[in-house]
Amino acid sequence: MSLSKIDAIETETEQIDQEKYLRQATQYYTALEKPLKYGPVIDSLTDLITALHREFDTNYVNIEMVNHIMLSYKSNPKEWRKYAKFDRYKYTRNLVDFGNGRFNLLILCWGEGVSSSVHDHADSHCFMKMLKGDLREKRYKYPHRTEEQLGNIADDQLVETGETPMALNDVAYINDNLGLHRVENPSHADTSVSLHLYCPPFDSCSIFQENCKKTTAKVTFWSKYGVRTKLNEQ
């Protein structure tokens, strides 16, 4: 077997190991409230991306450090404006960095009054940072996520657990162990922009109706690296 094929197999194996580790970490990780004292200094979006690649260059990713990196960055529109692509009728998912397949960094753009469906995150970590404007996050229990919940959640309704406003530079964190969420721009006059990190990356998730009916939705990119994607490239 050629060395190139061996390297490819080893890389694939490492990625599988990291993905397994990250999914296991969703069972216990909650979130940091403020940056770590010993973490890297993040002065720019480039610093953020470089630091993320450094953290994901190992099978055993320090999720606290990833959280620190997202908390430490201060929004600078000159750095992210080229990625911010809006659609008049829905929010958009704009790829900033593919993360070598180990994470995805995206900018989501929210028009006035636009919201997402109630959805999960396919057993991945989701960090969301405000870059412009305001968002409101509503959280819900994950229906029948565990045996303990089977007798506590009605089959015909979602149970809301909280609502949190997000302002400039705030960071929210969620995984499926913490529940589902719905994100909306509460303003009917101003747009909002947020920076999202997903790890491991996923190409589909589950969306939920009020009666707890679940369907699978494919997630796509409205643009990649600042360039509008074609339908067959999303």
How many other CB atoms sit within 10 Å of the CB of residue 43?
12
SS3 content of the chain, % helix, strand, coil (to 5): 25, 30, 45
Q: Residue 197: helix, strand or coil by DSSP?
A: strand
Output the pLDDT for position 156.
Answer: 75
pLDDT per residue as tens digits for the range 15-25: 668 999 999 99
Q: What value does the mean pLDDT of the chain take?
A: 90
For the segment 211-234, the average pLDDT, to the nearest whole number, is 89
The pLDDT tens digits for 158-217 are: 999 999 999 999 999 999 999 999 999 999 999 999 999 999 999 999 999 999 999 999
Full residue range of the structural domain in which residue 221 is found = 3-233
Tell which phi-psi region holds residue 33, choosing left (phi > 0), alpha (psi between -120 and 50) or beta. alpha
Residue from 62, 185, 29, 196 nearest 126 by CA? 196
Answer yes or no: is 121 a known binding residue: yes
* Confidence class for position 126, pLDDT limits 50, 70, 90: very high
Residue 147: pLDDT band (50, 70, 90) is low
Q: Report the candidate in 91, 96, 88, 103 with the shortest Cα–Cα distance to residue 58.
A: 103
Please report the DSSP string for 117-181 in residue order.
PEE--TT-EEEEEEEES-EEEEEE--TTSSGGGTTTS-TT---EEEEEEE-TT-EEEE-TTT-EE
Write the CATH number for 153.
Answer: 2.60.120.10
The distance of Cα 109 from the centroid of its chain, to the nearest Å, equals 13
pTM above 0.95, yes or no: no
The CA angle 50-128-223, to the nearest 5 degrees, is: 70
What is the pLDDT, as a whole number, of residue 9? 39
pLDDT of residue 232: 55
Asked whether 53 and 100 are in contact (CB, 8 A), the reply is yes
Residue 231 has pLDDT above 70, yes or no: no
Q: What is the mean pLDDT of residues 124-130?
A: 98
Q: What is the mean pLDDT of residues 124-150?
A: 87
144 is in an annotated binding site: no
Alpha carbon distance 217, 86 (integer Å): 20
The answer for residues whose C-beta is within 8 angstroms of residue 126's C-beta and 6 or more apart is: 173, 174, 175, 196, 197, 198
Q: Give the tens place of pLDDT for each residue, 29-52.
A: 999 999 999 999 999 999 999 999
Q: What is the structure's pLDDT at 120?
A: 98
Residue identified by tokens 């694939």 is 12
Give the count of domains, the chain: 1
Q: What is the pLDDT of residues 66-102, one digit of tens each?
A: 999 999 999 999 999 999 999 989 999 999 999 999 9
